[in-house]
Structure 1
Amino acid sequence: MEETTVMDRLGEKVSRVLQKYHELRGENEMLRNEINGLREANEAYAEQVSRLENDIAAKDREIDEIVNKIESILG
């Protein structure tokens, strides 16, 4: 029966730790990329919401102008 030495066991543990480290670094990089993509999408949606809010405000002003014209015509 072959007995593993302390150094062998330590080497195996270090190898497992390094493997896990590299796995986590890869996962971390993927998550960072996903976050960046989501930030870009969020900025695009925020711009779209802002444009739509401006459009709504413009339409509200148009409605107010039309109502004022109707009121002035009706007396």
Structure 2
Amino acid sequence: MVDRLGGKISQVMAQLQALKEENEVLKNDLMNQQTQNEAYRGQIERLEADNAAKEREIEEIVNKIESILG
């Protein structure tokens, strides 16, 4: 009975260790994804700023054309 209980405890401890290791891998994956998301956010912000600048340029060109055409 004691041997059987010891075996069960060993199994539970092994499962606990495996879950801890899997949890660590998942934490690392999450951190990597968060870092990548931050990089993407930065890219999106730059693209949005570029897009806004281009829209202002287009509006200025349109205004010049309208003023020329009268």
2:41 counterpart residue number: 46
How many residue pairs match? The answer is: 70
Distance 2:49 2:13 in 1: 54
1:74 counterpart residue number: 69
Q: Which runs of 4+ in 1 moved over 4 A?
A: none
- For the aligned residues, what is the CA RMSD? 0.4
TM-score (norm 1): 0.92
- Structure showing greater Rg: 1
Task: Compute the displacement of 1:48 (Å).
Answer: 0.4
Structure 1 counterpart of 2:65, one-letter code: I
Counterpart among 22, 25, 29 of residue 20 in structure 2: 25
1:64 counterpart residue number: 59
Bigger fraction of residues in helix: 2
**Structure 2: where are the runs of 5+ without partners?**
none
1:10 counterpart residue number: 5
**Structure 1: where are the runs of 5+ without partners?**
1-5
The percent identity for this pair of structures is 56
TM-score (norm 2): 0.98
Distance 2:52 2:33 in 1: 28
Counterpart among 20, 28, 31 of residue 36 in structure 1: 31
